[in-house]
């Protein structure tokens, strides 16, 4: 199924896509960088619309979201292609492959009905870059909102401001955003070495300004962005402030990047620096221990949330209207949505596609 794109402009016989900040200018019968949008006789069409590569139930903490609908489950779905093509991508079998004519198509209504019948709390576009399935996201999220599902994306944050506006308008209020690099990565690793990484922080702030929830993810990749710690912390505080969570994750060799896994000492040094500079909620992931994934009160140090294998095993926060606060000192803890108790490991990874 093809669908005319919502954000493009015609330039002579070419079209310019305005969904992400690449702003691909595409000749007739050609595709843009992500492989999902094609110029057909002077109009831009989403030729990957609804062609999904995976559909499964996953815990929200694995995204990672630690301050958004804690302990809930989301029907997670992905398509094909990407606009970044990271050389260490663990999902390269999805991200480096463009959609084909015979790929399986999921009607938006069928996907939302599956979410409802599965008993999950929300929908999440993940695994590959959601932006490449933009019109489909809008249709799915519009339907999902009518059923009371929360709506989230795990993204590289390289959308245009107009694209962000449209996603927020249909109810997409949960944004897990990867910050890939800084000015120090110029000339490295293909497209990631030529983009302006400050755009990602600009966009994250725009989501916050529009009422969305943001959690930033910094995968420290050996030999690529391991010199970006100071810049990323500075920009995080400048654009997003101290209360926006920061996840610092360990990289492992994957796909075409064979540098050693991120050193544990660098990860912990980055965490300590971020906390010292003023970021209140800093987590370290992918290190096979959960001790750095717990939430403590930034004011009094009390353990508030304990996590194990992407599930919450201890939750001790007082309800404060629509939010939560520390039961010891009353400090406000930013949590979007409601804590969902009683979700066990048996609910993990029910795969439908």
What digits encode the pLDDT tens for the residues 19-78?
999 999 999 999 999 999 999 999 999 999 999 999 999 999 999 999 999 999 999 999
pLDDT tens-digit readout, 6-22: 999 999 889 999 999 99
The reported pLDDT for the residue numbered 240 is: 98
Residue 66 · residue 80 · CB < 8 Å? no
Cα–Cα distances (Å) from 258 to 61, 88, 261, 265, in that order, read: 27, 8, 9, 19
102-116, 242-256, 330-344: least confident range? 330-344
Q: Does pLDDT of 309 surpass 90? A: no
- pLDDT at 92 exceeding the cut of 90: yes
In this prediction, residue 21 carries a pLDDT of: 98
> Where do the domains of the chain lie, and which CATH numbers do they carry?
3-46 (no CATH), 54-347 (3.20.20.70)
- Indicate if the pLDDT at residue 80 is higher than 80: yes
Q: What is the mean pLDDT of residues 326-348?
A: 86
pLDDT tens digits for 198-248? Answer: 999 999 999 999 999 999 999 999 999 999 999 999 999 999 999 999 999
Residue 346's pLDDT is 56
Phi/psi of residue 132, nearest 5 degrees: -70, -10
């Amino acid at each position: 199924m093809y669908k005319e794109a919502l954000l493009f402009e015609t330039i002579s016989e070419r079209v310019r896509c305005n969904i992400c900040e690449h702003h691909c200018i595409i000749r007739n019968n050609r595709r843009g960088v992500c492989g999902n949008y094609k110029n057909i006789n002077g109009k831009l069409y989403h030729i990957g619309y609804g062609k999904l590569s995976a559909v499964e139930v996953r815990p929200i903490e694995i995204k990672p979201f630690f301050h958004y609908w804690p302990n809930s489950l989301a029907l997670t779905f992905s398509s094909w292609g990407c606009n970044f093509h990271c050389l260490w991508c663990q999902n390269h079998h999805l991200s480096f492959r463009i959609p084909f004519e015979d790929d399986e198509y999921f009607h938006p209504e069928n996907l939302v009905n599956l979410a409802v019948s599965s008993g999950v709390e929300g929908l999440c576009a993940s695994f590959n870059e959601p932006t490449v399935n933009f019109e489909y996201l809008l249709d799915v999220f519009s339907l999902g909102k009518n059923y009371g599902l929360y709506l989230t994306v795990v993204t590289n944050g390289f959308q245009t401001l107009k694209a962000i506006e449209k996603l927020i308008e249909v109810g997409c209020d949960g944004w897990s955003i990867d910050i890939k690099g800084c000015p120090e990565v110029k000339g490295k690793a293909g497209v990631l070495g030529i983009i302006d990484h400050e755009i990602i922080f600009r966009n994250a702030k725009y989501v916050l300004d529009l009422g969305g929830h943001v959690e930033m993810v910094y995968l420290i990749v050996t030999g690529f962005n391991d010199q970006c710690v100071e810049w990323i912390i500075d920009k995080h505080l400048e654009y997003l402030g101290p209360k926006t969570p920061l996840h610092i994750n360990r990289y492992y060799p994957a796909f075409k990047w064979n540098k050693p896994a991120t050193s544990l000492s660098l990860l912990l040094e980055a965490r300590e620096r971020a906390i010292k500079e003023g970021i209140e909620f800093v987590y370290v992931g992918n290190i096979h221990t959960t001790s750095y994934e717990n939430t403590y009160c930034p004011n009094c140090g009390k353990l508030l949330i304990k996590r194990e294998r992407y599930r919450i095993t201890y939750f001790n926060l007082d309800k404060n209207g629509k939010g939560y606060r520390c039961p010891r000192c009353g400090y406000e803890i930013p949590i979007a949505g409601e804590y969902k108790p009683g979700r066990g490991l048996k609910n993990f990874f029910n795969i439908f596609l």
